[in-house]
Amino acid sequence: MSDALRVGLMVPINNTTMERELLAWLPAGSTCSTQRIPRGKGLLTKESLPEYVAQALTLAKAFDDPAVDVVAYGCTAAGFISGPAGDAALQSDLAAITGKNVVTTARSMVLALQDIGATKIALVTPYPDAVNTQLKAFLADGGIAVKRFNSFYAQNTDELGRIESHQVAKLARETMDDDCEAMFIGCSQLPTYEVLGDLEREFGRPTFSSIQVTARRAQRVVTTQAST
C-alpha cells in the first residue's frame, strides 16, 4: 500500500479540489492524469446525467495508456444518482474502454462504510433535496441508514465552489450525534483533507470523505491486482 500510484482521474470540469486532495491521500510520488468532464452551472440531476456520462465515456479513451495504473471516476453524485446498478454499469463500461481497474467514488463510499460495519451514519453534503434523497437511497441499498443529516443546499457550481473546509468542519460538528457510528462528508468538490483528521479525533468515530475513500479504494484495487 506504500507504492506510488498513477491515477487516471475523471472529474466535472468545475472541480477544483479532488486532484489536489487525492494526491495528498495517496502515497508520496503518486501522480494524476485528469480528464475534466464538461457540464453546465447547475448541479447534476437525473435529466442531465445521460449527457454527462456520455461525455465521460468519450474522454475515458485517454486512459487506455500503460502509464495509468487505475482509473478513478471522481464524481460522487454522478455515481449515486443512477443507483447501484447504474454506477456498476458505468464502472464496467469505463473498464472496457480503458482496459484498467476502475473505482467510482459512489461505490467507494459504500464499501468504506461497510468495511467498518457502519449501519447508522451522519451525512453532510452540498446537494439540494432531490439529490440528497437519491444519495440516501444509494446508501440504504448498501445497508447504511442516515440518522443525522445536513447540507449546504448549493444551487449551482459557483455556490458549491465557494464552500471552504472550515465551513465543512462546522457543519459536520453540528450534524454528528452519539447515535451515529461514523460520519461521511459527500462530494468530491468539498475540501476536507485539512479537517478530516481533527473531526475524527473529536468525534472518536470513523470520519470519511468522498476523496479520501476514493484514494483508499484505488490503492486497494491496485495492490490486489499486483498480488494476483
**Phi, psi angles (nearest 5°) of residue 214:** -65, -45
Strand 6-12 relative to strand 70-73, pairing = parallel
Q: How confident is the model at residue 163 (pLDDT cuts 50, 70, 90)?
A: very high
Hey, what's the torsion of the CAs at 207, 7, 106, 2, to 10 degrees? -40
Question: Which structural domains are found in the chain, ordered by start?
Answer: 6-104+211-227 (3.40.50.12500), 108-209 (3.40.50.1860)
The grid cell for 154 is 448549493
> Using an 8 Å Cβ cutoff, are 200 and 169 in contact?
no
Beta strands, E only, 41-155:
70-73, 101-104, 120-125, 145-151
The residue behind cell 447508522 is 120
Burial of 195 (0-12, 13-18, 19+ CB in 10 A): buried
What is the CB neighbour count within 10 angstroms for residue 95? 14
Has residue 1 got a pLDDT over 70? no
Residues near 226 by beta carbon (within 8 Å), at least 6 away in sequence: none
- Over the chain, what is the mean pLDDT? 95
Percent of the chain at pLDDT > 70 equals 98
What is the residue type of 106? A
User: Residue 55 and residue 105: Cα distance in Å, rounded?
Assistant: 18
Grid coordinates standing for 57?
465515456
pTM score of the predicted model: 0.94
**Span 166-198, pLDDT tens digits:** 999 999 999 999 999 999 999 999 999 999 999
Residue-level pLDDT at 88? 96
- 190, 183 Cβ separation under 8 angstroms: no
How many beta carbons lie within 10 A of that of residue 42, not counting itself? 12
Identify the pLDDT of residue 2: 61
Note the pLDDT of residue 81.
94
